[in-house]
Structure 1
Amino acid sequence: MTATSASTDHRIGRPGFAVIPVLDLRGGRVVRARRGERSSYAPIETSLAKGCAPAAVARGLLEAWPAATLYIADLDAIMDGSAPDLGALEAVARACPGIGLWVDAGFAEPGGVEAFLATGLGRPVIGSESQSDTSLLARLGDRAVLSLDTRGAERLGPAALHDDPSLWPPEVIAMTLARVGAGAGPDLAALQALRAPGRRVYAAGGVRGPDDLRALRAAGIAGALVASALHDGTLRRTEAGDLA
């Protein structure tokens, strides 16, 4: 089964602002991400699902928030260059028909990303940390989503990807790894600095609840990737309509 193309018209207060729930996969299970310290991520314990199977957690996230897109990070593929876990992705697609998938699987070579696109399982996320140059992103154009990865003050991957918005596809994720699961709030100043004409920037890392979403929207950010706030219950479906 294939997932549909990701939509960017998630109506949270105004057209175009998106809340995109996140699943981090390792060893075929969903794990809890904290501060980008991937080797220490443990299987998730959440009130949204029984166990940590990707399909069950995906359904739970979508029951917790009315999203049209899920972001999935395949940590095994990102960390060791292995192939994407297509079984897990297919399970999520079957469990969540009509949902678009953005998939970060450490894509670094044309062959691997073209093979993934051929599955029809979603849009590849090209993480700057996995790139040696700008060629893969240039090849893919708007078929991909770009993730500009940072860890604290360190920008990961080629400087050109961070510095030259002309290289960016329409959707760009600002992945602040040190803030993931840390409850520190999004880095609004850094996010605003990434804004560029014709590009939609999505915050990843630090969202604690609806006040952070309002601040991001007010700052002109297109949306946010969220996991901990949904699992911890600080962001609830009933609040979706209150963000106007």
Structure 2
Amino acid sequence: MRLIPVVDLMHGVAVRAQRGERGTYRPLVSRLVDGHEPVAVARALCRACASATLYVADLDAIVDGRPQADVLAALLAALPGVELWLDAGFTDATAAATLRARLGAAAARVRPVFGSESLVSRAALDACFPTPEAGILSLDRRGAQRLDAAGAWDRPERWPRQVIVMTLERVGSDAGPDLETMAVLRARSPATRFIGAGGVRDGADLRRAREAGAEAWLVASALHDGRLAPEA
């Protein structure tokens, strides 16, 4: 099972995500690193997971449409061998291209994550993935509610090669991974490479996720709390 560490950015610092309730997020406290400076947190996470991939959620961009370009540029400069999977609330392909242009040459190491909660229309979804590797789709939901103005959940023919299954109420929780949704989506699109997000507590959860067909899992809280040893 591949672990992809996550940094949630809000107001210039790394924060602790809790069940997708963004108004409750507070600066990160971690056993891996002192403080909540984004570069230090990112380095500690990538080192702990031996990962050359880092998932970054820019919450200022997602919530208010204000990307933290300076922080993103600092992460890219400090982690030259790392690819950033970036969710910055992209409403369409143009929004992703605009932010990548602001980041300059280092943007070649940025893979845009298009969240279904942010995409504004079916047409926007259609334009995001001219090739299967052009980006990553995140299928977002909170409880029984799909966050999906573009209808992405019901259009597997428009999915790229990699799809994140984002169950927001399980992020930063002890609820366990949402393997039921993973199984349903895999049945609909067996060739898709699915990445889970939210709920992983320990190595046993990761083994169950691997058996359910997940290629990888986004992790943060279990690492920061010392509940998950990457070698598990």
TM over 0.5: yes
CA distance in structure 1 between the partners assigned to 2:210 and 2:16 by the alignment: 26
CA distance in structure 2 between the partners assigned to 1:193 and 1:170 by the alignment: 17
Quote how far apart the aligned CAs of 1:20 are: 0.5
Gaps of 5+ in 2: none
Structure 1 residues 95-106: aligned runs within 5 Å: 95-106=78-89
* Structure 1 SS opposite 2:200: coil
Quote how far apart the aligned CAs of 1:197 are: 2.9
CA distance in structure 1 between the partners assigned to 2:78 and 2:30 by the alignment: 18
Count of matched residue positions in the alignment of Structure 1 and Structure 2:
222
- Judged with a 3 Å threshold, the aligned counterparts in structure 2 of structure 1 residues 150 and 219 are, in CA distance, closer, same or farther, namely same
Structure 1 residues 1-244: aligned runs within 5 Å: 17-82=1-66, 84-118=67-101, 119=103, 120=107, 121-141=109-129, 142-158=133-149, 160-195=151-186, 196-237=189-230, 239-240=231-232
C-alpha distance after superposition, 1:104-125 (max 9, x if no partner): 0100044321123333150111
The runs of at least 4 aligned residues of structure 1 exceeding 6 Å deviation read: none
Quote how far apart the aligned CAs of 1:52 are: 0.7
C-alpha distance after superposition, 1:203-231 (max 9, x if no partner): 10000111111111111111100000110
Gaps of 5+ in 1: 1-16
* Higher deviation after alignment, 173-182 or 126-135: 126-135
CA distance in structure 2 between the partners assigned to 1:55 and 1:122 by the alignment: 16
CA distance in structure 2 between the partners assigned to 1:123 and 1:228 by the alignment: 23
* Structure 2 SS opposite 1:106: coil
* Structure 2 SS opposite 1:117: helix
Quote how far apart the aligned CAs of 1:132 are: 2.3
What TM-score, normalized to structure 1?
0.87
Identity of aligned residues (%): 50
* Structure 1 SS opposite 2:15: strand
- Judged with a 3 Å threshold, the aligned counterparts in structure 2 of structure 1 residues 187 and 24 are, in CA distance, closer, same or farther, namely same
CA distance in structure 1 between the partners assigned to 2:120 and 2:127 by the alignment: 14
Contact 1:24/1:31, CA 8 A, preserved across alignment: yes
Quote how far apart the aligned CAs of 1:157 are: 1.3
Q: Read off the aligned partner of 1:133 and give its amino acid letter.
A: S
CA distance in structure 2 between the partners assigned to 1:227 and 1:70 by the alignment: 11
CA distance in structure 2 between the partners assigned to 1:109 and 1:194 by the alignment: 23
What TM-score, normalized to structure 2?
0.91
* Structure 1 SS opposite 2:163: strand
Aligned Cα root-mean-square deviation (Å): 1.4
* Higher deviation after alignment, 106-115 or 44-53: 106-115
